[in-house]
Amino acid sequence: MPFQPVKYYQTGTFTVGNRLLPPETRSVQANMRRTNSLNSGHRACQGCGEALGARYAIDAAMEATNRQLVAANATGCLEVFSTPYPETSWQIPWIHSLFGNTAAVATGIAAAMKAKGKHETRVIAQGGDGGTTDIGFGCLSGMFERNDDVLYICYDNEAYMNTGVQRSSATPPAARTATTTTGNAFGQGKNVPLIAMAHGIPYVATATIAELHDLEAKVRRAMQFRGARYLHVFVSCPLGWGHASDQSVRMARLAKETGIFPVFEAEHGEVVSVSKIRKRLPVEEYLKPQRRFAHLFSPQKNLEAIARIQAMADRNIKRYRLTDA
C-alpha cells in the first residue's frame, strides 16, 4: 500500500481523526490514560465552548506536569457548571475564591509551593473574559508584573454569560447583549493578549476550540516556562451568541479564518509564530449565523457596520501576517 502522509487539514480542520496519526502525535484527549480533569456529568450547556476548551487545556497541563497541578478558578460559568457540591467535576485540586482575584489566589498557591520546596507542583488560574479582562484585571496585571509562576488561561466567550449575557470589555463591536441591546459600540474593548505581552512575560498565546491540537501544544509549551504565562482561548457560546449548539467549533474556526480572532504565540513580548488562515473568508460568514449580530443583516443590511468589522479583521490579518499574501 502506498504511503500517504497525513495532513491535519484533510478533514477541513485540525481536529483530524487521531487514529490516523502515530501515537506520539495524537492529542492528549485521544489517550485512554487522559486524566479527565474536568470530568463528564457537569452542567455546561450543550455545545459549550468553554467546557471543551477547559477539558483540553487542563488535561494537557496535567500531562505536561506529570499530574502535579493545582487550579484556581474565577467565579463564572466554568466554576458554576462544574461544582454544585457534592458533584464536583474536578479531578484535580481546585479552588474557587472570588470573581476578581483568581490571578492573586494562584500567586499565593505558587508562593506556598515555592516556600515548601514543591517545585514540581505547577499552578493554573482560569476564568472567563469577565473575570479576566474586567473585574480580575488588576490582579492579573499584578501577577504578570511580578512574573509569578502561574499559567493564566482565559476562556473568552465575549460576554458575561453566567449572569445572562451582559457586555464585558471583551464583547466585540456591534454584538448584541442584554446590556447592549442595539449592539455594542465600536472602538472599545481590551486586547488582553497584547497587554500581557506588554508586561514582557515569558509566554503569551491565543488559541481556539477549533484547533484543539494547537491548544494542547500551547499549554504544553506554556508549561516549559517558569514565570507568568497567559493563554487566551476563544470559546464560542451557543446561548450567548445565538447559534446552534452543534456549530460551536465552526464558529471558532470562522473567527480564525476571517481574521476576527488572530491565533498566535509570543515569547518575552515578541510574536514568534502565527497560525495562518488557510482559506480566507469574509467576516459576514462569521457574523451571519449568530443571532447577536442579526441586526446587522435585517431588516436592512448594515453595510457600514459590516465594513468596519471587516476592516478590523483585515487589520489583524496585516498586523499578524495571517495570510501568506
Partner 1 sequence: MLKQIEGSRAVAEAVALCRPEVICAYPISPQTHIVEALGELVAAGDIGRCEFINVESEFAAMSVAIGASAAGARAYTATASQGLLFMAEALFNAAGLGLPIVMTVANRAIGAPINIWNDHTDSMSQRDCGWIQLFAETNQEALDLHIQAFRLAEELSLPVMVCMDGFILTHAYERVDMPSQAQVDAFLPKFEPRQVLDPAEPVSIGAMVGPEAFTEVRYLAHAKQMQALSLIPAWASEFHYAFGRAAGGLVRPYALEDAQTVIVALGSVLGTVKDAVDEMRANGEKIGVLGISCFRPWPFEAVAHALGGAKRVVVLEKSLAVGVGGIVSTNVRTTLAPRPVPVYDVIAGLGGRPITKASLQKVFADAVRDELNLTTFLDLDAALVERVLENERQVRRSGPLPENVLKERHAVPAR
91 touches partner 1 by CB under 8 A: yes
Other Cβ atoms less than 10 A from the Cβ of 242: the count is: 16
By rule CB under 8 A, what count of residues binds partner 1? 45
CB of 181 to partner 1, least distance (A): 29
**Long-range Cβ contact pairs of 313-319 (< 8 A, separation 24 or more):** 313/258, 313/259, 313/260, 313/283, 314/259, 316/259, 316/260, 316/261, 316/262, 317/259, 317/262, 317/277, 317/280, 319/262
* E strand segments, the chain: 69-73, 94-96, 122-128, 151-156, 203-208, 229-234, 264-267, 270-274
105 touches partner 1 by CB under 8 A: yes
3-state SS assignment for residue 200 = coil
Stretch that binds partner 1, among 134-142, 158-166, 288-296, 309-317 (CB under 8 A): 134-142
121 touches partner 1 by CB under 8 A: yes
Q: For residues 15 and 25, give the distance between their C-alpha atoms in angstroms, rounded to a whole number.
A: 12
Tell which one of 47, 49, 53, 100 touches partner 1 (CB under 8 A): 100
CB of 299 to partner 1, least distance (A): 42
In the window 135-164, what residues touch partner 1 (CB under 8 A)? 138-139, 141-142, 145-146, 148
205 touches partner 1 by CB under 8 A: no
17 touches partner 1 by CB under 8 A: no
2 touches partner 1 by CB under 8 A: no
Q: For residues 260 and 258, give the distance between their C-alpha atoms in angstroms, rounded to a whole number.
A: 5
Stretch that binds partner 1, among 110-118, 153-161, 183-191, 238-246 (CB under 8 A): 110-118
In the window 50-89, what residues touch partner 1 (CB under 8 A)? 67-70, 72-73, 79-80, 83-85, 88
Beta carbons within 8 Å of 97's beta carbon, 6+ residues apart: 72, 105
Do 264 and 230 form a contact (C-beta atoms < 8 A)?
no
CB of 43 to partner 1, least distance (A): 11
Cis peptide before 172 (omega within 30 of 0): no
Q: By the criterion CB under 8 A, which residues form the site for partner 1? A: 67-70, 72-73, 79-80, 83-85, 88, 90-98, 100-101, 104-117, 121, 138-139, 141-142, 145-146, 148
